[in-house]
Chain A
Amino acid sequence: MASIKAENLTKTYGLFPAVRSIEFDIADGEFVAILGPSGCGKSSTMRMIAGLETISGGTILFDGRPVNEIRARDRNVAMSFESYALYSTITVRKNIAFPLDCAGMPRLEIERRVSEIAEKMELTELLDAMPSALSSGQSQRVGLARALVRNPSVFLLDEPISHLDTRQRYRMRRFIKSLHQEYAYTMIYVTHDQEEAMALADRVIVMSDGAIQQIGTPYEIYTKPKNLFVAGFVGEPPMNFLPYEYDHAGETIVIEGQVLGLPEALRADAAMIGPEGLAAVRPGFVSIGVGSSVTLDATVFITEALQDHNLVYADIGDTRVCVETAPEMTPRRGEAVKLAIDPDHLLLFPRDQLASDTEL
C-alpha cells in the first residue's frame, strides 16, 4: 500500500504540454478517479505514476519518497488496460501466473496465489480455458486477476470497463468496488465516463486541457462544480445552462425575456459575474407546474418515459431544458408548462468560461 503525491507534475510531448503542472494527494487505500475527455492528460498522468512515461517536470512521491528515477517494474504498481492484452497462446492459469513466473517465485507459491485470486475473481472454472474461449467480461476479469496477483501497492485501471454492455459494466463496477473494500488497495481509475467515476471513487480529479479543474468527493463535484467545464461534464442527464442578463437594481435575472427573482444566496455571485452570465441547474432540481418563486414559461419538446422516472425536454424561448419528473408526468409535445427551479440548487457562472468548441 502507498500514498501518492504529485507536485508540479508536467508532461510535454515536443512542444505540446499534455499535463501542465498539476498537484494532487492520494491517501493510502484511497480510491481516486481521474476523469476527463480524451486528450485531457489523464492517461499521461497515469502512465507517469506507473513509470511507463518519463516525467518532464515536477515530482511523483510514493509514501513521501520521490519515484521519478525508479523504474516501472520496481514501483510495485499494477495496471489493467482497456484492451486486456492477454497472451492468446497460453491458458488463463498461465496468464495469471505470468508475472509471478517472471519474478522467479517458487511453483507451489505461484499455484497457491493463482487459485486464491481465481476464486476471488470467480475464474476457478475457467483456469484451463484459452483466452479465445472467454467472453469480454471474463477476459476483463482475467486481466484484473493478472494485475492483482502480485499484491501491488498501487493499482491503476485505465478505462477498464468502457466497452462492456450495460449489464456487464454494472457487474464489473460492483466487482471493482468490492475488491477495493476487501483489499484496500490505493486505486486510481482513469476514465472518460463520468458515471463510473462518480459511482466508484472516494474522490474524483476532473481534468481538461492538461490541468486539474476540480478535486472533490463525487457529491461535492455534482452539487458544487467549480466551473462551467465541470458543471457540464459531470452528470447524466447533463446540467442545464440558461443564458441570463442581470438586473442589479432589482436583484433579478432575465432569462429569454422572463424575469426571475434571485435567491439571497446568489446575489453576491451575480454581482461579481456582471451583466451577463449562465444560470445552471440539474434536471433533478427542475419541476413542472409546482408553485415556487422561480418559475419560467416553457413549451414541451419531447417526453422520454424511462419508467422509473421521465425526462421532459422543454424550450424556454431558444433554450432547451431537461427536466426529471415522476413516471406519471407525461406532458405532450407542444404543451405549455411552467418550470419551477429549486433556488437552492441554482448556480451562476460567467459566460466567458465557455470554451469555443463547447456545445451546450
Chain B
Amino acid sequence: MTYALENIWKRYGLTTLALKNINLTIPDEEFLVIYGPAGAGKSSALNILAGIAKPTSGDVLRNGQSIIFVPPEKRNAAMAFENYALYSHLSVFENLAFPLRARHMPDKEVAERVTAMAEMMGIAHVTDRRPGFLSGGQRQRVALARAIIRPADIYLLDEPIGHLDAKLRHRMRAELKALAEDRKSTVVFTTTSSREALALGDRVAVFNAGKLEQVGTPAEIYHRPANTFVATFVGDPPMSLLDVVPQQNGDSVHLTLPGGRSIGEAPASVLGGVIEALQVGFRSREISLVDAGSPQSVSGMVATTEQLGYSVIEVDGIAGQRVSIPTPTDGSLKAGETVGLKFDGSASHVFVNQRAVFHAGGAF
C-alpha cells in the first residue's frame, strides 16, 4: 500500500503548530524513518497516519484514496507507542497474543507465533510475567513485538528502541530491518538518533519544528543535505560548517577563510542573489589532520578533545570557526595545541543563507 500525507497542517490549541504543510509520500514496501529533535512533529505525523489524530487541514491517502474519514480500527495499521501502552493485567504472552486472537487465529498458531516473536525479541524468558514486573527495556520490546506480530498494511513505530541499551538496540535494529525486508512491509519509524535513521531507513524524512526539511535516501541526506539544519543534524559527528568569503576567479569562485586561504571552490553561477551568509561544509572524513605548517594546510587550535570521541578544532585561530573530527586513538591530540588541517576541496558543500547551493563531487 502506498500512503501519502498531503498539505497536512496540525494545530493544538490556538498557538501550537505541530505540523506545517507536510507533503510526504510513502511508497509500498518502504522503510521510512522520520528523524528530528523533540517537538519536531514526528509523533503527530504518525498519529495522523494511524487515524488517532485528525489533521487540522490536509488529506491522508492510501493507494490514492482519502482515508481521512476511515476510523483507526479500520485502517489495518499496527502501532507501537512511545509510552508502550501495554495491557497491564495481561501477561507478556497474552499481550502478544491479543492482536492475533482478535483476528480469530487458532490457539496453536497463536502459541507458535508468540513463541517465535518472543524468541526474536529476547523476551522468551519473561512471557509469563505481567508488564509491571518488567524492566523498561523489556516493556519496550513487548510493545514493539505486539505491534509487529501481526500482518498489517503499515507499521507505525514511535521511537520503538530508544530506551534499550546499546547491545539490544543493535540487535533489534538488525532484526527489524531483516523482518521488514522479508515481509515486504511498509514501515514508518520515528527516532531522535542519527545513527538509527541512517541504519534503518530506505529513506529518511528530516523534520524540524513541524516542517519537513528534506526527504531522501540516507546517502542523499548525508552527502547532499538540503540546508544547514540537515547538514548539522545528520551524521555523527555533524557536518562542520565554516564561514567563508567568495573570491571571483573567472567562471568559478574560491571560497576563502578570513585569513585568505581557499578551502573550496564553486561555479560562480550558483552564488546569485543577496548573500547574507556563505558557509562551506565538510564531513569529518573530508578533513585530514596534518603537521602544523604543512604546505596547503590551514592552522587550527585544538579546543577540546574527547579520548574516545571527537575533537573540536578552532580554525585559523578564529573563535566559533570550528570543525569536529574523530579523535585519533593514539592520544596524540592535546587541547591547546596547534595542528594543521587539510580540507578535501573536491568534496565540499556550499551553503548560501543556510540553503545548499552546491555539492562538489557528484558521486555518493
Chain A positions near chain B (C-beta within 8 angstroms): 37, 136, 165-168, 170, 173-174, 177-178, 181, 192, 194-195, 198-202, 217-219, 222, 232, 235-238, 301-302, 304-308, 311, 313, 320, 322, 333, 359-360
Contact = CB atoms under 8 A, between A and B. Distances in A.
B98 to A, nearest CB: 25
Contact of A167 (B122, B233, B308, B312): B233
A349 to B, nearest CB: 15
B40 to A, nearest CB: 9
Interface string B298-317: 00000111111110100000
B307 A199 contact: yes
Given A165-B38, A201-B307, A238-B167, A333 B174 contact: no
A195 B174 contact: no
Contacts of A333: 178, 181
A173 B236 CA distance: 13
B166 A237 contact: yes
Contacts of B37: 165, 167-168
Q: Which of A178, A307, A311 has the most CB of B within 10 A?
A: A307
Contacts of A202: 307
A306 B198 contact: yes
A253 to B, nearest CB: 23
A359 B304 contact: no
A199 B310 CA distance: 7
A320 B178 CA distance: 13
Nearest to B219: A307
B165 A305 contact: no
B192 interface: yes
Contacts of A307: 198, 218-219, 222-223, 235
A283 B176 CA distance: 20
Contact of A217 (B166, B192, B303, B307): B307
Q: Please name the 5 residue pairs, one residue from A and one from B, whose CB atoms are nearest each other, closest first.
A: A199-B309, A199-B306, A304-B199, A198-B308, A307-B222
A306 B306 contact: no
Contact of A165 (B174, B192, B329): B192
Q: How large is the interface on B (under 10, 10 to 19, 20 to 34, 35 or more residues)?
A: 35 or more
B199 A359 contact: no
B170 interface: yes
B310 A219 contact: no
Contact of A194 (B122, B166, B218, B284): B166
21 contacts: A136-B38, A165-B192, A166-B192, A166-B194, A167-B233, A167-B238, A170-B236, A173-B306, A174-B304, A198-B308, A198-B309, A199-B309, A202-B307, A218-B308, A232-B167, A304-B174, A305-B219, A306-B199, A308-B284, A320-B174, A333-B178
A198 B193 CA distance: 19
B198 to A, nearest CB: 5
Given A301-B174, A333-B181, A311 B192 contact: no
A284 to B, nearest CB: 10
Contact of B303 (A178, A238, A359): A178
Contacts of B218: 305-307
Given A173-B309, A199-B308, A302-B174, 19 more contacts: A37-B165, A165-B37, A170-B238, A174-B303, A177-B306, A195-B166, A198-B308, A219-B307, A219-B331, A237-B166, A302-B181, A304-B174, A307-B198, A307-B219, A308-B222, A308-B235, A311-B199, A333-B178, A359-B122
Contacts of B303: 174, 178
B174 A166 contact: no
Contact of B170 (A165, A177, A200, A322): A322
Interface in B230-246: 232-233, 235-238
Interface string B66-77: 000000000000
Contacts of B283: 308
Contact of B236 (A136, A166, A178): A166
Nearest to B309: A199
B174 A198 contact: no
Given A194-B166, A195-B309, A307-B218, A178 B304 contact: yes
Nearest to B336: A181
Nearest to B200: A304
Contacts of B236: 166, 170
Contacts of A238: 166-167, 170
B152 interface: no
B29 to A, nearest CB: 15
A170 to B, nearest CB: 7
A219 B238 contact: no
Q: Which of B38, B237, B308 has the most CB of A within 10 A?
A: B308
Contacts of B48: none
Nearest to A360: B167
A198 B307 contact: yes
Contacts of B173: 304
Contacts of B200: 304
A181 B304 contact: yes
B184 interface: no
B355 interface: no
B195 A306 contact: yes
A167 B35 CA distance: 12
Interface in B34-82: 37-38
Contacts of A322: 170
B168 interface: yes
B352 to A, nearest CB: 22
Interface in B306-345: 306-310, 312, 329, 331, 335
Contacts of B168: 359
B285 interface: yes
Contacts of A194: 166
A238 B173 CA distance: 13
Contacts of A201: 307
B20 interface: no
Contacts of B11: none
A181 B305 CA distance: 10
Q: Which of B195, B238, B285, B304 has the most CB of A within 10 A?
A: B304
B177 interface: yes
Nearest to A236: B166
Given A37-B165, A167-B37, A311-B199, A302 B306 contact: no
Interface string B141-184: 00000000000000000000000011110110110011001000
Contacts of B167: 232, 238, 359-360
A37 B304 CA distance: 27
A202 B309 CA distance: 12
